Amino acid sequence: MSDTIENVKCLIIGSGPAGYTAAIYAARANMNPVLYQGTQPGGQLTTTNEVENFPGYPEGITGPEMMIELQKQAQRFGTDVRDGWITKVDFSGDTHKVWVNEEKEIHCETVIISTGASAKYLGLDSEQKYLKLGGGVSACAVCDGFFYRNQEVVIVGAGDSACEEAHYLSKLCKKVTMLVRRDEFRASKIMEARVRNTENIEILMNTETEEVIGDGQVVTGVKVKNNQTNEVTEIPATGFFVAIGHKPNTDIFKEYLELDETGYIINKPGTAKTNVNGVFVSGDAADHVYRQAITAAGTGCMAALDAERYLAAKDSEFEVSTSTYN
């Protein structure tokens, strides 16, 4: 552990659209934000090829380019952007303590958590290969579905997300094949009924992915196995969508913050406030419903404004309490 403790007015954890937007607002409000990027600088968007649905980019922009632009904008107003991974926090006292890489200790007046969520993948080598190549594997139908217009795609998963995404894809694609590993859905009945009643969605029950097939550059099909009959078949497809859930990156906060049953941070409705004064949340760490760059950016703005108001209220309390002694 280091013996020098740094004091920071506003610490932002995470470098996706939520974190950088919070940084832009906090920096412009003279809060001298320090932003730690985490292990995936730029967040989930860096795994997306083309972002076409963020307002203001009529020709689209790649995910990594967009994150570089956001970082530059945050730095232009003085955000101190640092490499590093927050490994531990202590929100039990008035001063919020945060440790970077198990070593450096920071005392913060406000903390904005923008640690995001990670999409779960099957973990097959072939899936990871085409994901890294940007060749047809995606965990976000709303982000990438458009690139598969009039094509045939496969989606794996049977929860509400998978149903919602399959339905979304069915409006763009010629055919959607949905792979359900058990003999029943996890999704709510109404969501299941929606996919069952959609003509161009074919549902294969008891079916698991064996391999994502491709030509070395892009996906051309999916090899699947029926786990009851062991029959293996190949489905032609140019896109392979994985919708088997997300994991919010909130483990280090669970001792102090209220989380829902899947680990998302619970914010006070209509605000970015958590149950701990001075600790705010933005982006996917608190959002399992929308999960878009633009909604993350919006809540990043909210978090910075809430933090600024919190500091202003604290300062005026201090002025009132010191003036009583004068």
- Choose which of 288, 301, 305, 314 interacts with ligand NDP (CB under 6 A): 288
Beta carbon nearer to ligand NDP, 122 or 305: 122
- Choose which of 11, 154, 156, 222 interacts with ligand NDP (CB under 6 A): 156
Would residue 144 show up in a list of annotated catalytic residues for this protein? yes
Mark residues 91-130: x for contact with ligand NDP by CB under 6 A, - for none.
Answer: -------------------------------x--------
The active-site residue, picked from 144, 160, 287, 306, is 144
Q: Which two tokens stand for residue 242?
A: 């994985």
The active-site residue, picked from 80, 90, 125, 140, is 140
For ligand NDP, which stretch binds (CB under 6 A), given 42-50, 86-94, 142-150, 151-159? 151-159
Would residue 315 show up in a list of annotated catalytic residues for this protein? no
Would residue 140 show up in a list of annotated catalytic residues for this protein? yes
- Choose which of 18, 67, 162, 272 interacts with ligand NDP (CB under 6 A): 162
Beta carbon nearer to ligand NDP, 34 or 242: 242
287 is an interface residue for ligand NDP by CB under 6 A: no
- Choose which of 28, 97, 181, 225 interacts with ligand NDP (CB under 6 A): 181
Beta carbon nearer to ligand NDP, 141 or 297: 141
Residues 214-273, interacting with ligand NDP (CB under 6 A): 244-246
Residues carrying an active site annotation: 140, 143-144
Using CB under 6 A, list all residues that contact ligand NDP.
122, 156-162, 164, 181-182, 186, 244-246, 288-289
